[in-house]
Structure 1
């Protein structure tokens, strides 16, 4: 059988693809009915004495056909799969936080409410009732929803269920704790009637992530669903499983929480594919030219002879956005920025944390606004961002990673002592020490990370990359690492300046590279060229030639605190500003800010060709909307004024 992801031909008895470990899909039998089956939500309520027995709820959400383009009628649909959600009857549910505790627990392990109070608040004697709530019949994914009659039918069933229920609630008690069962049933019925086919696929996929069902995940992705979609409060209420689902969760969060590694790999692949579909960077728009640029980068790599056999680049190139972007219409510019920038990173660094572009003097008067370019979300983001900030391409062939690994391994006699001294000083501030075996083990881990494509990299690797580039690297990063809920989970120690301290200063360029760091991800920060015909920023280039422009990168944060310099020796600590002036073109602005000058002149021929071809696409788009606007605005008797 052929794997649907990598097309590898596996043996019949293989349950997983031996290449990508994708599970073998089970073929679903075709539907035999003349119409699509109705989706049924079955609810069984059992109420007993106050001895600790709790309500048992069973819900079945049927999955939908996963091909929205071929489902033209209800006669050729697929059989709908079923998903069940169970509340364990042996556990007791806390009324305050809805956590399911084990029978022997005397208090809720989450909020500490006594089990006796929970039992006293439950009704003494109840009966067992069953309700069948039928969801509206669903046609093709492209068809419209049912009319008002479906909503009325839901409301009627909601009244019946609410009138006979005692303490049972279908929805999460934490969402609307004060709502009576009658109101909840009515609200849930209305919510179900408003669900589209894609919403049902989404809910089935969420339950599949919890239950380990790959079919529902495949159906959701094949139906056009985005893996980064988040659960809403209403959807969590419909799923009625607060111990598993929370608002803001995505399929990736659920797969990580319930340890679905095979499912996680598929979701991450689908997420990257979805991101690529909406991004259009110069290296993606011109892949052949980008390949030639990568060959040029490899050809410029050399290895130093002598005691420090580290690789280095012979060319100093800085990538910047073209000034021609300003000539495009406003809506075309927005489309361009949406397709080239990482809006989430830009917003986090610029708006939420005020890490970049916080100085009006730099962004407006000196024209030194930084833009965060989008790149791959895998562990190669650091290498991608370094090549993007210099040559405007990705490290697809891992040439920069190989140079990094070889430099650390062959230049260990120089890198290891500097790394050990710096880490020892950091450890002393935390009042602990390591023996030599621990240092050797940690260093071996760093070497292993550098040699494995797709693995994330650390501060030491940035330090080594500064030596390969022979240029300083300035990282503008968040101070704290936060979870997807916004909770602080640790310190991010990437922000700061990385200098090629193991080279002679005369062997290096003082032209820095700017990178941005958010939660586990690096991005290239590049400036935009200025139109020198305008007066903007003219004062920033008084010392440069006609073909060279300068962007000014701040060396202090928004509070005026000097950036940390990584991997300084003990003799260099306390002389940070002197060290910066030795390795960078440092200047003071009129506002008193310490900045580093980043010079960028004419692009290499291949890079210029790549940028021009990429921009031609947007120049062509600029004329098309104008023609459409003329026809729609000045139309008369079916003809435009131009006609």
Structure 2
């Protein structure tokens, strides 16, 4: 019996249909807020099969195949994931560790397939390369200035030439061309928080990332800050043109995975509801941490900083979730439209013969799998600095010398880290910036 190597491998025909539809759905309209974007395909959410309703052996095999257990365990133990019992449990699903894991995770969350043909990554690169109105660079530069100012000794100061050099680095990092093949496999360059913000605007859909605040070694000691965690809103678009159900990801150990809920199943004599969770649980994700502090909203302009909750309510469906004596916490609903039946892999997963299925995990055939520790071709591997930014290493070294800090760690090898408008309705108009 041939064992599947990825969700897509359960039905390659569906995978091909999704890739074809996605290519047709790519939009280029110079009048739009983000000229390079994706149309109606980005409204969908792929959900896991309701494994509590299958026999125990099948349940174990399916969970072993799908779940990234190191990431799941680490984030749950740190009370970063599934800490709120009133919201549905989310599962970290494995993605390939080839450096394109950010795009893989986003594609998996929406359709159940990875970005193996770099369709999303190429659109990301085109968006940053073009940036005709300069709005992406403006937001990137403002957040970078604030980050640079946090360095000890007065912060980092860039010359105009250095700013231009840094921006070109942001563009080149998103290239869909592989770099430094590992064992004959493609390995892509690392991506930063800025690329996540750009991706949210390409999709016209919010992205929420659950992550620790620091990168830790195997002993748990902090090595460098991690800035990926937070909420990325498609702020370049009017809210009414955006999908209000977020893409939800986890980031840990330089790797991205999608955080997925189970598909709801029909109750015996009632509407659809998941039998594997208590009725009181909301299909939502909290917008605060366990400390009840709001997750950071990334890449805000000054005029937006005092309107955070207003913006969240415009771009997300927000509900108030009770927390017992602690009051209530805002949460974003995640129960948007499911992948259409003709493209959905749930039936394929449930009908598969799981007997004899060994521990493997999601990943394209022959592709390197993500590991819990050690080096990997993945996000954050290139140019990791003491600030957690993947800045140009020589420039960073010069700046650190200027303010008297120790030399940054050596530069590892490069690695990697859609909101629907119906194409038939024409391209939406830009939101004034």
TM-score by length of 1: 0.49
Mapped partners of 1:300, 1:356: distance in 2:
33
- 2:289 is matched with 557
Mapped partners of 2:337, 2:241: distance in 1:
20
> What 5-or-longer segments of structure 1 have no aligned partner?
1-276, 363-367, 541-549, 623-643
* Counterparts of residues 72-471 of structure 1 (less than 5 Å): 280-306=5-31, 308=33, 309-315=35-41, 316-323=43-50, 325-351=51-77, 353-362=78-87, 368-411=88-131, 413-430=134-151, 431-432=154-155, 433-451=157-175, 452-453=177-178, 454-471=188-205
Secondary structure in 1 aligned to 2:45? coil
Displacement after TM superposition at 1:464 (Å): 0.8
User: Is the Cα–Cα contact under 8 Å of residues 45 and 338 in structure 2 kept in the other structure?
Assistant: no
| Partner of residue 614 from structure 1, selected from 328, 349, 371 | 349
Deviations 1:392-450 (A, max 9, x none): 10111111111000011112522111211222233334432322212111110111010
Mapped partners of 2:356, 2:253: distance in 1:
35
Displacement after TM superposition at 1:482 (Å): 1.4
Mapped partners of 2:83, 2:4: distance in 1:
27
Deviations 1:24-73 (A, max 9, x none): xxxxxxxxxxxxxxxxxxxxxxxxxxxxxxxxxxxxxxxxxxxxxxxxxx
- After superposition, the CA RMSD in angstroms is 2.2
Mapped partners of 1:571, 1:600: distance in 2:
30
| Partner of residue 599 from structure 1, selected from 317, 335, 349 | 335
Displacement after TM superposition at 1:531 (Å): 2.9
- 2:238 is matched with 504
Mapped partners of 1:383, 1:519: distance in 2:
16
Mapped partners of 1:425, 1:613: distance in 2:
48
User: Is the Cα–Cα contact under 8 Å of residues 357 and 370 in structure 1 kept in the other structure?
Assistant: yes
Mapped partners of 1:279, 1:491: distance in 2:
37
Mapped partners of 1:310, 1:568: distance in 2:
21
Secondary structure in 1 aligned to 2:210? strand
Secondary structure in 2 aligned to 1:562? coil
Displacement after TM superposition at 1:508 (Å): 0.9
Mapped partners of 2:237, 2:159: distance in 1:
29
Displacement after TM superposition at 1:560 (Å): 0.7
| Partner of residue 567 from structure 1, selected from 299, 321, 344 | 299
Displacement after TM superposition at 1:321 (Å): 0.8
Secondary structure in 2 aligned to 1:599? coil
User: Is the Cα–Cα contact under 8 Å of residues 389 and 526 in structure 1 kept in the other structure?
Assistant: yes
User: Is the Cα–Cα contact under 8 Å of residues 279 and 340 in structure 1 kept in the other structure?
Assistant: no
Mapped partners of 1:319, 1:281: distance in 2:
14
Mapped partners of 2:5, 2:136: distance in 1:
38
Could you tell which deviates more after superposition, 301-310 or 377-386? Answer: 301-310
Displacement after TM superposition at 1:307 (Å): 6.3
Deviations 1:453-494 (A, max 9, x none): 311111011011101111000000121101234332101110
Mapped partners of 2:82, 2:5: distance in 1:
24
Displacement after TM superposition at 1:361 (Å): 1.8
* Distance 1:429-1:572 versus aligned 2 partners, 3 A rule: farther
User: Is the Cα–Cα contact under 8 Å of residues 207 and 232 in structure 2 kept in the other structure?
Assistant: yes
* Larger helix fraction of residues: 1
Deviations 1:596-616 (A, max 9, x none): 0112344313322x3312321
Mapped partners of 1:278, 1:515: distance in 2:
27
Secondary structure in 2 aligned to 1:318? coil
Mapped partners of 2:17, 2:106: distance in 1:
17
Displacement after TM superposition at 1:501 (Å): 0.7
Deviations 1:345-397 (A, max 9, x none): 1111112x1111111222xxxxx110111111111000000000001101111
Q: Alignment length, in residue pairs? A: 329
User: Is the Cα–Cα contact under 8 Å of residues 86 and 280 in structure 2 kept in the other structure?
Assistant: no
Mapped partners of 1:374, 1:598: distance in 2:
20
Could you tell which deviates more after superposition, 390-399 or 297-306? Answer: 297-306
